[in-house]
Structure 1
Amino acid sequence: MLAGRLNTDTLEFAVVDVPKPEPDAGQVLIKVQAAGVCLSDAHLIDGTLSPLYLEGDTVTLGHEVAGTVEALGPGVNGWRPGQRVLLQAGEPRADGTVLTRGVDYDGGWAEYAVATASTLVSIPDDLPYEQAAIIPDAVSTPWAAITSTAFTRPAQAAGVWGVGGLGAHAVQLLRMMGVAPIIAVDPISVARERAVGFGADLVLDPDDGNLRERVFEETAGAGLAVAFDFAGVAAVREQAVGCLAPEGKLVLAGLTNKPLTITNGIAFSYFKQQILGHYGSQPEHVEQLVKLTSGHRIDFSRSVSDVLPLADAEKAVDRLLRKEGNPIRLILKP
């Protein structure tokens, strides 16, 4: 079968022929129907990110995966061939560590993938595979940031810095929750236009010299109850802190290795503001989102920017890095 394989030592990536895997005890063989291309996949290829728990030096990428059950390994019950499923992006171990699919073990940029049975989530017949695949991570990460890290409530004012693959969904999810107003900040005009379509009340360019004033004007002088950094840019964080209300929260969902600074530390302490780190999601967040899509409370049809054959995985990564068409998610289809 074809699989997109990365050598994490040499950073050589290629779609190559490999043996079709067989499910071990407790595992299920999945025929992959769709797999998302995430910026973290690109960062694995360029060496910015490295696996923590990978055994060996080569891995099949892809942590956003949906498909059908192909075969059951020994001891697996409750599933049958042909069932439509998505795969959780992570798998907890007994020692408390979490392995990430497509990072610490083989993922879904392949014609077939094996998955521990407990990481399967059933999806409804009317949810396209292309949309189901991106729920783990592209949607569940902002959903977890909004609901479990920030504990965002209806009618609160929220800001979203970076309206890419995660931030666009954050705007959409905040709108669904009744958050108001929603202010989206992005340097790319197409992304700002998209934010309006996804439910933002106000869109701003981060280079706007009056950005802080406009945020406070939009929030009737109160400032933001919560601000989300999905850009992973140090300057964004400084700007977002300056837009917070008293006791406001800045949630760091975008990743950067740059220092975190607060220019006015006295004001930050006086107003009892908070900075909260965030990473990924838990299984229940994915399950909640599948339930919401099943109930037609939200759909992700606008999130699939293009579908490419698995053989064009390198092309997809290049398009993502160059922001060609400013995609939300590119999908690989074996």
Structure 2
Amino acid sequence: MRTPFSWLAARYSLGPRAVRVAAVASVVASIGIIVTGGVVRVTGSGLGCPEWPTCEGENLAPTAEMGVHGAIEFGNRLLTGAICVVVGWLIVTARLQRTPARSVLRGAWAQFWVVVLNAVVGGVAVWMRLSPWVVAAHFLAAMLLLTTAVFTWDRTRPPAGPTPPLPPRETATATGLLWVTGAVAVLGTLVTGSGPHAGDSSDVHRMPFDWTVVTVVHGVLAAVALSLIGLLLHRLDRSHPGPARRRTAALLLVVLAQSLIGLFQSLTDLPGLAVVLHMLGAALVWSGALRVFLATRDSAPTGPYEVGAPPPRALARS
């Protein structure tokens, strides 16, 4: 069946660089929505727009009377629209490749539907007056969006030639690291849900957990993740080609910085700036763990190039 995309693809084509740039932009935008969500929470702007999908009544945008909280919450909503534009461009660039890669197209469309899911969950959070359980689901939906963005970005990498497969214990360690990192992120939502930053200046109920206990468990799991990173880095010999060791070393630095920020904020009564930086760190740690996992699972990615496609140089000139 002919579609507008197939009509365009028959007349125009874009080089692989276009889809790679769009994929990177979707990763940056996904991290941005996580960070701005943290800004909304620590500034108490979660109900700055008290309704959804409108801001208040029939007004889509906040009024001057709603003040800075309305502006912050509305700005976060606008970023969702910006992500839709970025993901839409990714879909277009992926489809207009001379030989479109199914994995990239599927990843781009998956991002679109996860953006819709995240927006709906955010709306439910407003309807439920910032129930900490729904707010936690909103954060996890944002992390799911980041997951699909990172996977899609990885599929756009140009082929680097075959490299020797990693031994099973390295791939198993990377898989275990991914699971532990995911558990750290989930437990972090319990720390947030039972902590002082409710997301609004009004009386918002918190999760029925002891904040000190869940924070300590969260820290212990983070220490386990740090140990697995060190173990994986030790096992990846310097002579092994490929990105696995470089990505693991970068992840080690990010996790160390994230651990310091987490320790600082827990000892200093959770200052807002430190919380926002910790949210940024959470997004970087999770994307880094995903990239390490992908590097150990796939030593020769095809990116946007399928079997039988023209060589990369020929595509770049098109």
Report the TM-score range of the alignment, normalised by the length of the smaller protein: under 0.3
TM-score (norm 1): 0.24
Higher relative contact order (CA 8 A, sep 6+): 2
TM value normalised by structure 2: 0.25
Structure with max Cα Rg: 2
As a proportion of its length, which structure holds more strand?
Answer: 1
Higher helix share: 2
